[in-house]
Structure 1
């Protein structure tokens, strides 16, 4: 996939799936805006990886769950790297798992801030340039938790369902402008923030994966590169589930 000359913004991209997607886009030739909200030490360490690989990346600190943070981020990226051609809203908070009686509305609002509000604000800020050049790629990260109706994740699942609906409607609206909107639905792919999960929980999940192995961040990154490419110009409003066949194997 050749992404030379393209500018990509991946939010939440100094760790986990976001970092893997950013690396893959950069290896394909894109100039990548790395985004983080906290943990500057980790962010600088991530940037050093790109520099040592000889790929083009720049670091931007911003809270993308807030409107001002989104506006500042998009403005800074556009000034320093150029207008954004490829957008991947990936930033995520911790996802609580608890009984419905134990949730608060604030728990729901936090999920909606990251998975509906943030993608909406980012898209709104990026599409003027995309429309003008009649080319753009928006890739939203959804989740098997929504499609499978996983118990005790109601706040997360509700927000991810909203993000999927947003993506589908946007795909129809933006298609005449050469802008595609697609989705990647990962299974559980253990990254840094899952280190505290019990081994028994991990073993139980892995037994439900027909492929018989854990997915890796690079599995998600490969799907992102395809959706970002010219080869995917006739694909919009779609999602690819990257979970080793778990969706049909249960």
Structure 2
């Protein structure tokens, strides 16, 4: 039996990066996947990849900063595959900015996606799960920078700290309905997001991990898949660091 056999999962921001990897891996583990993204071309490309590998998937264009669109994606999952078991609030963006000079438009845009988008995903999925009496799981993407703040990233740090608080609070709010809310706090992942950093900055970030290296993206998705599965049934209301000791290493 595959770990997510016949589960229905909605993944936000699944057109590229970690979301794409999550969609492919969830499908490999037996889930039926709703791919959501603001980029229609990339989202449909991921659906094709899933299907080419023998999985089941469908796409709906979704801007997570708009609650109605997130709610529509959840409704689409039920219309397409009959239910929703897993909500993976993965969509997000990164934008540096010092508190003294951060552009406020950039600030609001990041908060709308990284913070409000997660709340919208929790709310829409939880209400649908409650209505359908589904004992589902909601997985949020936080960050080590929501635990240990990193300079010159005021909006991102704030948003990810809020995701951690939302995970804890929503877990308590939804426990009575049998719905789990969990999350991951990845360390420095080896993705193209590092392209915006100098080689010296990347080396410095890697050096904060216990084994002095970045995190392979698949290792994060392995933890997300575990949290989505019944194997993690006793885990609730917490964000799991996937950071090779970044948040505990003081060396």
The two structures have a TM-score, normalised by structure 2, of 0.91
Match of 1:29 in 2: 30
Cα offset, 1:8, TM superposition:
0.2
Distance change in 2, residues 1:228/1:64 (3 Å) = same
Q: What are the equivalent positions in structure 2 for 1:50-129 lying under 5 Å apart?
A: 50-93=50-93, 95-129=94-128
| Residue-by-residue CA offset, 1:132-152 (whole Å, 9 max, x unaligned) | 424010011101112111111
Whether contact under 8 Å (1:116, 1:166) holds in the other structure is no
Distance change in 2, residues 1:121/1:98 (3 Å) = closer
Q: Greater relative contact order: 1 or 2 (C-alpha under 8 angstroms, separation 6 or more)?
A: 1
Whether contact under 8 Å (1:21, 1:220) holds in the other structure is no
Match of 2:206 in 1: 206
Give distance in 2, aligned partners of 1:194 and 1:206. 11
Match of 1:160 in 2: 160
Runs of 4+ residues over 4 Å off in structure 1: none
Cα offset, 1:197, TM superposition:
3.1
The two structures have a TM-score, normalised by structure 1, of 0.92
Match of 1:14 in 2: 15
Distance change in 2, residues 1:195/1:51 (3 Å) = farther
Give distance in 2, aligned partners of 1:90 and 1:150. 21
| Residue-by-residue CA offset, 1:115-145 (whole Å, 9 max, x unaligned) | 3322222222222332242401001110111
Structure 1: 5+ residue stretches without partners:
none
| Residue-by-residue CA offset, 1:148-195 (whole Å, 9 max, x unaligned) | 111111111111111211111110111122111111000121323433
Give distance in 2, aligned partners of 1:177 and 1:145. 31
Secondary structure of the equivalent of 2:241?
A: strand
CA RMSD of aligned residues (A): 1.8
Give distance in 1, aligned partners of 2:73 and 2:134. 22
Asked if 1:233 is matched to 2:237, the reply is no
Aligned length, in residue pairs:
248
Give distance in 1, aligned partners of 2:223 and 2:124. 24
| Residue-by-residue CA offset, 1:10-62 (whole Å, 9 max, x unaligned) | 10012111112222211111101111102x44333322321221111112211
Deviates further, 54-63 or 204-213? 204-213
Secondary structure of the equivalent of 2:236?
A: coil
Deviates further, 73-82 or 148-157? 73-82
Secondary structure of the equivalent of 1:108?
A: helix
Secondary structure of the equivalent of 1:101?
A: coil
Whether contact under 8 Å (1:187, 1:215) holds in the other structure is yes
Secondary structure of the equivalent of 1:212?
A: coil
Whether contact under 8 Å (2:5, 2:31) holds in the other structure is yes
